[in-house]
């Protein structure tokens, strides 16, 4: 992978535009439109000059509220190319949360799909009424190719962009309290893409199928920035669809796919490419991230589709990658998201002392891919790091003798029943072994006797049936009576963030009163 050492978005766009201007960077399958590296550079320079002509300055914030598409990807990269900070809005955000993000981020401009203009009207008016701050709105089609045409700006010089400049502002899902704005520098963004590329040995010949939204760190870094770093390409449909997933992978000769466990669960309930008459032999591996992959689904996917799964793990605060299983299938460990790659990792106890292999504690990460801090929140930023610059992930787990991490839960999500810590994932995986269970998630609920009891929410596979009593009996066999959920609810869906990760703390709201 021949790429410049400087870690800025502009360096990589310019590098590949010069080296392979006709090579594709992005393919929009709904329209058949291809954005080459040469065209990407033209788009980025044009957008940079238009933003500057309209009074925006380096470090200003520009928000995106759009589904995946040609224009969405171009704006995501283009704003960072300009030296400004892009702020992708979670399309699930509504009302007060949407207002908070747009107000707190100090955004100057929102590029949004036409369908979201009405949703923006009330939050933006409230911001104006409270502060007299006007936020410009630019409606457009996510598949639109050209939006500017001004020959007078073609030769306007662009300000320099440095590795330490802020590039990306991402708001966490906000399951507890208000969302936190994660600030990423140019160097951190590129490092996330670089570590992905290096871990999977990706080159200009590789092409990924992007089934994840661009308002999530995984979709942004792993499937959009990483190809930009190694000179590869991305196939980007509007959204994931189980009905055409394999068709897109075959038609566009993808060499790898990037998914989350929810997608794997849905694909497992559908036909194989061979049954559909499709050839996906070029797909070298499936990368799974953003949530733990149950071992049963991991094995079932590999057996059904004949494609090896590389389980990984990362955070918004680490620009997606932090741990990855090796590319060599013989060295992977099912049930673990792998070893630290690119960054460092360690396990500490409650006092911050390093723990030896096998001892559970909080997972800490340090590296070039780690965030700068939380926007306008110096106290939260200080709490997030220790004195040596290690990031508190809030995840609980342990490292084995080979340096593979095994995650047992979140500090705030641990179920403490009668003084015993119970990892929700253990309950999830037991339920997923039942043949009728498609998805499962456990959470702690208040209990007078134990402090907390266990509640599990279950989605049943289409065409199958079960009952709470049957699942309770199954859990007794798998887990024993102490860890068997006191309450099992059959539900139609689980509350999730944009990455597909279950928001466990919202599950507690479903508990019977």
Which tens digit of pLDDT belongs to each residue from 84-113? 999 999 887 877 889 999 999 999 999 999
pLDDT in tens, 16-67: 999 999 999 999 999 999 999 999 999 999 999 999 999 999 989 999 999 9
User: Residue 456 has which token pair?
Assistant: 């599990």
* Fold (CATH) for 415-510: GMP Synthetase; Chain A, domain 3 (3.30.300)
Distances (CA, A) of 99 to 103, 109, 125, 506: 6, 14, 9, 21
pLDDT in tens, 112-159: 999 999 999 999 999 999 998 999 999 999 998 876 666 556 678 899
The CATH superfamily assigned to 9-22+34-145+162-184 is ANL, N-terminal domain (3.40.50.12780)
Helix, strand, coil percentages, rounded to 5, for the chain: 30, 25, 40
Closest of 416, 209, 414, 226 to residue 314, by C-alpha: 226
User: Residue 127 has which token pair?
Assistant: 């911001």
Distances (CA, A) of 95 to 99, 126, 179, 312: 6, 10, 14, 33
Angle at 241 between CA 425 and CA 311, to 5 degrees: 35
Averaged pLDDT for residues 404-425? 82
Residue the block writes with tokens 């849905």: 266
380/172 Cα distance (integer angstroms):
13
Averaged pLDDT for residues 343-359? 95
291/488 Cα distance (integer angstroms):
22
> Rg of the Cα trace of the chain?
23
Averaged pLDDT for residues 68-90? 97
Asked whether 220 and 79 are in contact (CB, 8 A), the reply is no
Where b means 16+ CB within 10 Å and e means fewer, 20-29 reads eeebbbbbbb
Following DSSP, what letter does each residue of 101-135 receive, concatenated?
Answer: HHHHTTEEEEEEEGGGHHHHHHHHHHHHHHH----
- Give the per-residue SS3 of 462-474: CCCCCCHHHHHHH
Task: Name the residue ranges covered by the structural domains of the chain.
Answer: 9-22+34-145+162-184, 415-510
Q: What is the pLDDT of residue 369?
A: 98
**Same fold for the pair 9-22+34-145+162-184 and 415-510:** no
Q: Are strands 207-210 and 256-259 parallel, antiparallel or unpaired?
A: parallel
Q: What is the pLDDT of residue 496?
A: 83
Which residues have a Cβ under 8 Å from the Cβ of 432 and sit 6 or more positions away? Answer: 294, 296, 297, 439, 440
Q: What is the pLDDT of residue 174?
A: 46
For the chain, report the end-to-end CA distance as a whole number of angstroms. 58
User: Residue 16 has which token pair?
Assistant: 């590949």
Residue the block writes with tokens 């024993």: 480
User: Residue 166 has which token pair?
Assistant: 């802020």
Element (H, E) at 251: helix 245-251
Q: What is the pLDDT of residue 499?
A: 64
CA 10 to chain centre: 23
315/131 Cα distance (integer angstroms):
33
Asked whether 82 and 47 are in contact (CB, 8 A), the reply is yes
pLDDT in tens, 279-338: 999 999 999 998 788 899 999 999 999 999 999 999 999 999 999 999 999 999 999 999
289/499 Cα distance (integer angstroms):
9
Read off the pLDDT band of 175 (50, 70, 90).
very low
């Amino acid at each position: 992978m021949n790429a410049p050492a400087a870690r800025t978005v502009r360096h990589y766009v310019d590098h590949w535009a010069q080296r392979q201007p006709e090579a594709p960077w992005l393919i929009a399958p709904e329209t058949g439109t291809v954005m080459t590296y040469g065209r990407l550079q033209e788009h980025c320079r044009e957008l940079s000059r238009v933003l500057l002509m309209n009074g925006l300055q380096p470090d200003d914030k520009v928000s995106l509220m759009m589904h995946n598409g040609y224009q969405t990807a171009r704006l995501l990269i283009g704003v960072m190319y300009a030296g400004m900070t892009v702020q992708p809005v979670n399309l699930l955000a509504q009302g007060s949360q949407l207002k908070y993000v747009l107000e707190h981020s100090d955004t100057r401009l929102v590029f949004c799909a036409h369908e979201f203009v009405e949703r923006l009207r009330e939050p933006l008016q409230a911001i104006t009424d409270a502060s007299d701050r006007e936020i410009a709105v630019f409606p457009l089609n996510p598949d639109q190719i050209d939006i500017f045409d001004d020959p007078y700006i073609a030769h306007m010089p662009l300000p320099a962009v440095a590795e330490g400049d802020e590039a990306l502002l991402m708001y966490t899902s906000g399951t507890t309290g208000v969302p936190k704005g994660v600030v990423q520098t140019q160097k951190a963004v590129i490092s996330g893409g670089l570590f992905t590329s290096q871990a999977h040995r990706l080159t200009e010949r590789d092409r990924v199928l992007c089934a994840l939204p661009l308002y999530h760190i995984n979709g942004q870094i792993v499937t959009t920035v990483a190809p930009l770093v190694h000179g590869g390409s991305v196939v980007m449909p509007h959204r994931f669809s189980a009905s055409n997933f394999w068709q897109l992978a075959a038609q566009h000769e993808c060499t790898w796919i990037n998914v989350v466990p929810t997608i794997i669960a849905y694909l497992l309930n559908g036909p194989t490419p061979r049954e559909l008459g499709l050839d996906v032999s070029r797909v070298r591996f499936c990368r799974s991230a953003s949530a733990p992959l149950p071992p049963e689904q991991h094995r079932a996917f590999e057996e059904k589709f004949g494609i090896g799964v590389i389980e990984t793990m990362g955070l918004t605060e680490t620009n997606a990658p932090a741990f990855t299983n090796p590319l060599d299938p013989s060295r992977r460990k099912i049930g673990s998201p792998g070893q630290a790659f690119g960054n460092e990792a360690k396990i500490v106890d409650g006092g911050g002392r390093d723990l030896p292999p096998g001892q559970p504690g909080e997972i800490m990460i340090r590296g070039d891919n780690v965030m700068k801090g939380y926007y306008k929140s110096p106290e939260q930023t200080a709490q997030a790091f220790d004195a040596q610059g290690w990031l508190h992930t809030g995840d609980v787990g342990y490292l084995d003798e080979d340096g593979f991490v095994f995650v047992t839960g979140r500090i705030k999500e641990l179920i403490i029943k009668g003084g015993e810590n119970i990892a929700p994932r253990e309950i999830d995986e037991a339920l997923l072994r039942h043949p009728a269970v498609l998805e499962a998630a456990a959470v702690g609920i208040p209990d007078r006797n134990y402090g907390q009891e266990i509640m599990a929410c279950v989605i049943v596979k289409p065409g199958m049936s079960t009952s709470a009593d049957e699942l309770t009996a199954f859990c007794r066999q798998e887990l024993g009576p102490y860890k068997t959920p006191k309450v099992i609810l059959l539900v139609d869906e689980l509350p999730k963030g944009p990455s597909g990760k279950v928001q466990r703390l919202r599950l507690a709201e479903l508990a019977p009163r």
